[in-house]
Chain A
Amino acid sequence: MTKRQKQRLVRGVLYLVLLAGVLAVGLLADWETTRRNFFNAQLAREMFPDVLTIAARNTLLYTFLAFSFGLVFGLVLALMRLSSIKPYRWLATIYIETFRGLPALLTIFLVGIGIPIAFGTRWPTLVTITLGLGIVAAAYMAETIRAGIEGVPKGQMEAARSLGMTYTWAMISIVIPQGFRIIIPPLTNELVLLIKDTSLLFVIGTTPATKELLKFGRDLLNTHANATPLIVVGAVYLAITVPLTQLVRILERRNARSR
Chain B
Amino acid sequence: MATPANEVPAIEVRNLHKSFGDLEVLKGIDFSVMPGEVVCVIGPSGSGKSTLLRCVNRLEESSSGQVLIEGDDITHPDADVDALRSRIGMVFQAFNLFPHLSVLRNLTIAQQRVRRRRRAEARDVAERTLERVGLSDKIDAYPSHLSGGQQQRVAIARALSMEPDMMLFDEPTSALDPELVGEVLAVMRDLAREGMTMMVVTHEMGFAKEVGDRVVFMDDGAVVEEGPPQQILTDPQHERTRRFLQMVG
Residues of the A chain whose Cβ atoms lie less than 8 Å from the Cβ of B59: 158, 161-162
Whether A162 contacts B100 by the Cβ 8 Å rule is: no
Interface segment, one of B9-17, B87-95, B128-136: B87-95
Chain B residues contacting A161 (CB-CB under 8 Å) are 59, 82, 85
With contacts A165-B113, A165-B114 taken as known, whether A159 is within 8 angstroms of B96 at the C-beta atoms is: yes
**Contact code string A147-163 (vs B, CB < 8 Å = 1, else 0):** 00000010110111111
Shortest Cβ gap from B86 to chain A (Å):
3
Given contacts A156-B96, A178-B99, A178-B100, contact A164 B83 (CB under 8 A): yes
B110 within 8 A of A: yes
Which chain B residues lie closer than 8 Å to A258 at the CB level? 144
Contact yes or no, B159 A181, CB < 8 A: no
**Chain B: how many interface residues by the 8 Å CB criterion?**
25
In Å, the complex CA distance between A215 and B12 comes to 72
Whether a CB of chain A sits under 8 angstroms from the CB of B157 is: no
- Asked if A163 meets B100 with Cβ closer than 8 Å, knowing A155-B94, A173-B109, A173-B113, the reply is no
Q: Which residues of A contact B110 (CB under 8 A)?
A: 160, 163-165
The chain A residue sitting closest to B88, CB to CB, is A162
Shortest distance in angstroms between B23's beta carbon and chain A's nearest beta carbon?
19
The reply to whether the CB of A177 lies closer than 8 angstroms to some CB of chain B is: yes
Query: Is B244 interfacial (CB-CB < 8 Å)?
Result: no
B38 CB–A CB distance under 8 Å: no
Contacts of B155 in A (CB 8 A): 159
Point out the residues of chain B lying under 8 angstroms from A155, CB to CB: 92, 94, 96
The smallest beta-carbon distance between B25 and chain A, in angstroms, is 18
- What's the nearest-Cβ distance from chain A to residue B241, in Å? 30
Whether the Cβ atoms of B96 and A158 lie closer than 8 Å is: yes
A166 touching B82 in the complex, CB below 8 Å, given contacts A155-B92, A155-B96, A156-B96: yes
* Residues of B with C-beta under 8 A to A153: 94, 96
Contact A163 B85 (CB under 8 A): yes
CB within 8 Å of B: which A164-197 residues: 164-166, 169, 173-174, 177-178, 181
A-chain residues with CB within 8 Å of residue B158 when the two chains form the complex: 163
Q: B114 to A163, Cβ gap below 8 A? A: yes
Instruction: Given A155-B92, A156-B98, A177-B100, verify A162-B113 contact (CB < 8 Å).
Output: no
In Å, the complex CA distance between A162 and B83 comes to: 10
- Bound state CA distance, A177 and B89, in angstroms? 24
Determine if B57 is an interface residue (Cβ-Cβ < 8 Å): yes
Most buried by A among B88, B92, B109, B113: B113
Q: Which residues of B contact A177 (CB under 8 A)?
A: 100
Given A162-B90, A164-B85, 20 other A-B contacts at CB below 8 A?
Answer: A153-B94, A153-B96, A155-B94, A155-B96, A159-B92, A159-B97, A160-B98, A162-B59, A162-B89, A163-B86, A163-B110, A164-B83, A164-B86, A165-B82, A169-B113, A173-B109, A177-B100, A178-B98, A178-B100, A181-B100
Q: Which residues of B contact A (CB under 8 A)?
A: 57, 59, 82-83, 85-86, 88-90, 92, 94, 96-100, 109-110, 113-114, 144, 155, 158-159, 162
27 residue pairs A–B, Cβ–Cβ below 8 Å: A155-B92, A156-B98, A158-B59, A158-B96, A159-B90, A159-B92, A159-B96, A159-B155, A160-B110, A161-B82, A161-B85, A162-B57, A162-B59, A162-B88, A162-B89, A162-B90, A163-B85, A163-B114, A163-B162, A164-B114, A166-B82, A169-B113, A173-B113, A177-B100, A178-B98, A181-B100, A258-B144
The 4 closest A-B pairs by CB, nearest first: A164-B86, A163-B110, A159-B96, A155-B96
Chain A positions near chain B (C-beta within 8 angstroms): 153, 155-156, 158-166, 169, 173-174, 177-178, 181, 258
